Chain A
Amino acid sequence: MVTSWRRWWWRAGALAVAAVFLWPVLGMLAFSLRPAGLPPPRTLLEGLSLQTLAWDNYQRIFELVPLGAYTLNSLWLAALAVPLTIVTASWAGLALTWLAPPERRDLLALSVALLLIPGAAVWLARLVLFNSLGLRDTYWPLLAPALMGADPLYVLVFYWAFRQVPRELFEAARADGAHALDLWWRVALPLARPAALAVAALAFVFFWGDFVGPLLYLKSPALYTLPVGVQQLLALDRTNWPLLMAAAAVMTAPPLLFFLAAQHFFWREYTA
């Protein structure tokens, strides 16, 4: 009796929490299919009722703004930045496990300290720096974070994963004449696939969603990425909600699908 009551309590709570957190995404999808000309809804049910599905909203946003070209640009950027992030973050994470304890402790402390520097504090100076290097209006400033593993947190995720690898494996491979890069590619990385996938998902969200980079650095429309396109659509008509929600859905779908596909590994990596 008591157990069944508790089970219902758990189910109700779980459903409520899931609904609250999924509501922005589900609402975005539902509203994106509302015909664009309809008057604004006056009740919640009216707003979310889907009598006619206006799939052509998704076509119209690509005609109003060159979202197709922008999407390709965003994909291209992510296709360069995500693998590069995995390389640099996993190198640093692996190197941390090889260092002698005092240096390792110092570098771990440094990595955590770096997590505490707000990116917003250095945007302006980075802009001045990249301008003086003549790199404005190129993808270099947008890709640059991948050089340092994008976020010290990703380095730490790799470090925690590689720490599980027995040191003897590396010793044995090294006795056979393997170099640092061999050890990384042949021994460490295959054993840390879940960590690599988790970081890939996080890095994809990071680079795909970046709206500050394009805002600061890109001047030519040919280079614009998806976040710029969605802001253009917002500037065209701030009240055409079905179209804006369709654009938001197009932008959200790739990282969401990536997360859902990788989530099994994602949780395992963090909470093993």
Chain B
Amino acid sequence: MSWGTQAALLLTPYLAGTLLLLLVPALLTLALAFTGYDTLTPPVWRGLQNFVTLARDVRVGQAFQNTLIYVALAVPLRVAAALALALWLQGRRPGAGWVRAAVYVPSVVPPVAYALAGLWLLNPLYGPVNLALGALGLPAPAWLAEAGPARVAVALLAVFQIGEGFVVLLAARRGLSPEVLAAATVDGAGAWATFRYIVRPLLQPWLVLLTLRDVALSFQNAFAAAYLMTGGGPYYATLFLPLLAHEEAFGGFRYGEAAALMLAALVTAAALIAVFWALWRGWGGAEEW
């Protein structure tokens, strides 16, 4: 057998699994979006009816708005935090290894346990966050019980689970050539100038990739937070698209409408992949990979 045949053999489960679990479901979502389906009777063709129904539902506009706010808050904060921590902790100073491990710890906490910890941390009356704010004489919002603070709280909780991006940027920073950085110092560049003109441009591909990946992850993170902590409330302030789709499908047996809602996530994915593809070709297929 040639290398190619051997490789094809070992790739079979990965490619078959991808087909079964991602590509076929994506096409099925697209098809279901144009039907009425309650899982008990076969799907009925509806054309664009689902989209008309959804356009009339006030919750849909609200869910789009909430999801956009979540992405706009959580993604930049998560990428910036991962970058700042990776650059600060990349050195071999004594104790740095322990701090790196500490930064990773919240990322291994299972979603259900993390949501419980979040509910307790942010409890308006006796949660540690408000007790600490009270002790400092600062105003303490009712967090998950008020629309505005609930939106912020849900996004802020996601900022601590950045292990993956942190590790990727740590590796990317360590991969930079020490000579280039030393040359910058010799030329008299300070820490900020080195970051601005050398480190950040060299890390740019990784930052772009992480940002795209984070937008995709936002759908899961937002669902976990809303389903486990807020139930979409208060006053629909944390009703995100995947939660609304879940309610349509499992609360109302309206799978067609739910699939039509999830098309928004698939269109987002298509846009992210298009951006990635344009950049990938610009990088010449990323030879160094």
Tell whether, in the assembled complex, residue A116 and residue B108 are in contact, meaning their CB atoms are under 8 Å apart. no
Interface check A196, CB cutoff 8 A: no
Known: A184-B10, A248-B116, A260-B101. A147 touches B25 (CB 8 A): no
Whole-angstrom distance between the alpha carbons of A259 and B114 in the complex? 16
Cβ-defined partner of B20 (8 Å) among A28, A107, A144: A144
| Interface-lining segment among B182-190, B191-199, B217-225 | B217-225
Interface check A100, CB cutoff 8 A: yes
Tell whether, in the assembled complex, residue B285 and residue A105 are in contact, meaning their CB atoms are under 8 Å apart. yes
17 examples of A-B residue contacts, CB within 8 angstroms: A17-B103, A24-B106, A25-B105, A31-B120, A40-B125, A43-B131, A47-B131, A121-B29, A122-B26, A122-B266, A128-B37, A129-B20, A145-B17, A205-B107, A211-B224, A251-B113, A255-B108
A201-221 CB mask vs B (1 if < 8 Å, else 0) is 100010011011000000000
Tell whether, in the assembled complex, residue A44 and residue B135 are in contact, meaning their CB atoms are under 8 Å apart. yes
Contact residues of A with B, CB < 8 Å? 10-11, 13-14, 17-18, 20-25, 27-28, 31, 40-44, 47-48, 87-89, 91-92, 94-96, 98-100, 103, 105, 107-109, 112-126, 128-129, 131, 144-145, 147-149, 153, 155, 179-180, 183-184, 201, 205, 208-209, 211-212, 227, 230-231, 234, 241, 244-245, 247-249, 251-252, 255-256, 258-260, 263, 267, 270-271
Tell whether, in the assembled complex, residue A28 and residue B117 are in contact, meaning their CB atoms are under 8 Å apart. yes
| CB-defined contacts of A92 to chain B, threshold 8 Å | 10-11, 13-14
Interface check B110, CB cutoff 8 A: yes
Known: A112-B280, A144-B21. A118 touches B110 (CB 8 A): no
Known: A41-B126, A116-B276, A131-B39. A124 touches B249 (CB 8 A): yes
Whole-angstrom distance between the alpha carbons of A260 and B109 in the complex? 12
Known: A17-B99, A95-B6, A241-B120. A121 touches B219 (CB 8 A): yes
Interface check B235, CB cutoff 8 A: no
Tell whether, in the assembled complex, residue A125 and residue B26 are in contact, meaning their CB atoms are under 8 Å apart. yes
| CB-defined contacts of B116 to chain A, threshold 8 Å | 28, 230, 234, 244-245, 247-248
Known: A47-B128, A124-B259. A91 touches B14 (CB 8 A): yes
Cβ-defined partner of A121 (8 Å) among B108, B123, B266: B266
Contact residues of B with A, CB < 8 Å? 1, 3-4, 6-11, 13-14, 16-18, 20-22, 24-26, 28-29, 32, 37, 39, 85, 88, 93, 95-114, 116-121, 123, 125-126, 128, 131-132, 135, 160, 164, 167-168, 170-171, 174, 209, 212-213, 216-220, 223-224, 228, 242, 245, 249, 255, 258-259, 262, 265-266, 268-269, 272-273, 276-277, 280, 285-286, 289
| CB-defined contacts of B128 to chain A, threshold 8 Å | 23, 27, 44, 47-48
Which chain A residue has the least Cβ–Cβ distance from B103? A21
Whole-angstrom distance between the alpha carbons of A271 and B104 in the complex? 14
Which chain B residue has the least Cβ–Cβ distance from A209? B110
Tell whether, in the assembled complex, residue B216 and residue A116 are in contact, meaning their CB atoms are under 8 Å apart. yes
Whole-angstrom distance between the alpha carbons of A122 and B262 in the complex? 8
Tell whether, in the assembled complex, residue B220 and residue A118 are in contact, meaning their CB atoms are under 8 Å apart. yes
Tell whether, in the assembled complex, residue B10 and residue A22 are in contact, meaning their CB atoms are under 8 Å apart. no
Tell whether, in the assembled complex, residue A109 and residue B245 are in contact, meaning their CB atoms are under 8 Å apart. no
Which chain B residue has the least Cβ–Cβ distance from A159? B289
